[in-house]
Structure formats: C-alpha cells, structure tokens
Amino acid sequence: MLRQRGERAIARRADHGAQQERISKAVWSILAGKGIEHLTIRSVAAEAGCTTGLVMHRFPGRKALLAHARDLLHARTRVRVERLEAETGTPRAALRAILAQGMALNEDSAQEALVWMGFLAASVGDDDLIALHRKNNRAWRDRVERLVADAAPDWGPARVRAAAFALVGAAEGAAQLACFDPESYSAETQEAMLDSLLDAYGLA
C-alpha cells in the first residue's frame, strides 16, 4: 500500500525514510492539536493512517519516535532559514527574516511553535532529549549571533551576545504567547514587536 515501486534494485525494500517522515508528521500533528499527554503510539498510528505495528517496526520505541520527529523538524527549519538567509540581501534583512519565521505569524508557524513546546515539555527529566535540545538550540543561537555581528560590525562580542539572546528569547517567547492567545498577539502585533525590538537595538 505504502510501497513505492522504484527501481528494480530496491523493489523489495519499503521506503523506510518516507514512512518515518509520514509518522513524524503525525507526531507533529498530535503534538500541536492534542498535546503531549495524548501522544501515544496508537494515536500516532491512527493519525498516520497505519497500524501500531508499522510504527514500532520503524522506530525502536516511543523516545526514538520523539527524537526523530524533533530532528526532522529541526532539519526542515534549518533548510528554511538557510534559504531565507541566502535570499535576503543584507544581514539586517536576514536577521529580521529568520527571527520572523520563528514566530507564530500564520497557522503553520503557530502549529510549529506548539510542536517545539511539546518537545521541550517531553524533554524535562530526560537527559537524552535535553542534550538534543541544547545542541540544536546552540546552533540556532550561534546563527543569530553571527547575523547580529554582521549587522553591527562595530559591536563588541558581549554586546552582540546580549542582543542576540534578547532577540532569540523575544522571538521564542512571542511565538509561545501568540499560539496560546492569538487574539492578544496577532501577526501584526508580533511583527510590530519585532520591528520595535530591532529598532531599539539599532538593527532595523
């Protein structure tokens, strides 16, 4: 059913990667819609339109399921951010663009913010997942620091670090606030906040 015909050489092998991706998407969907407390093997299988057997054949356990969905989302975000960075002309435009993509400006990104929070909540008390979070998040912080340094070449490292921290924190905090109270924090409100913040730092 899910099998893709492909070349003769791989006729027998099912496309594990595609199955993992489909299942990971189901994880995101449940994380955003019902919350981590309802993220079970069975609910994931139902959402992905397959059986629990397939889920367990693709992943060794529930934790691996979470870790893979997390890594996949990170990889997608990375691609999106790198494209944004390549497409925009100036470091300042790139900075604004990549911070904006991390906020909850539309339905999709609001869902993503919920998913990130679900992963975070799942990693409390779990050293492996925390380590994953740190690795990914430090990469994200380093990227923002680099862009801030490019956007303000005359700043010292301490000033760059503090500003980058504020930007990263504000974007993340705003996304979280917005996806739980979209009436209070509309897309316009978030963008106004971001512009206000960049302007205050002289990075507009």
Partner DNA sequence: GTGTTACCGTAACATCTGTTACGACACTCC
Partner DNA sequence: GGAGTGTCGTAACAGATGTTACGGTAACAC
Residues forming the site for its own copies (CB under 8 A): 31-38, 114, 117-118, 120-126, 130, 133-134, 137-138, 141, 158-159, 161-163, 165-166, 168-174, 176-177, 180-181, 184-185, 189-190, 192-193, 195-197, 200-202
Between 52 and 111, name the residue whose CB sits nearer to DNA. Answer: 52
Taking CB within 5 to 8 Å according to partner kind, which of DNA, its own copies, none is near residue 35?
A: its own copies
Taking CB within 5 to 8 Å according to partner kind, which of its own copies, DNA, none is near residue 3?
A: DNA
Taking CB within 5 to 8 Å according to partner kind, which of its own copies, DNA, none is near residue 149?
A: none
Residue 118 C-beta: closest distance to its own copies, Å: 6
Give the Cα separation of 3 and 95 in Å (integer). 42
Per the CB < 8 A criterion, the answer to whether 28 and 44 are in contact is no
Tokens representing residue 122 in the block: 């799942």
What's the Rg (C-alpha) of the chain?
19
Q: In which residue are the tokens 């106004």 written?
A: 192
Taking CB within 5 to 8 Å according to partner kind, which of its own copies, DNA, none is near residue 180?
A: its own copies
CA 152 to chain CA centroid, Å, is 27
Does position 61 interact with DNA (CB under 7 A)? The reply is yes
Give the Cα separation of 173 and 185 in Å (integer). 11
Could you tell me which residues come within 8 angstroms of residue 108 by beta carbon, excluding any fewer than 6 positions away?
none
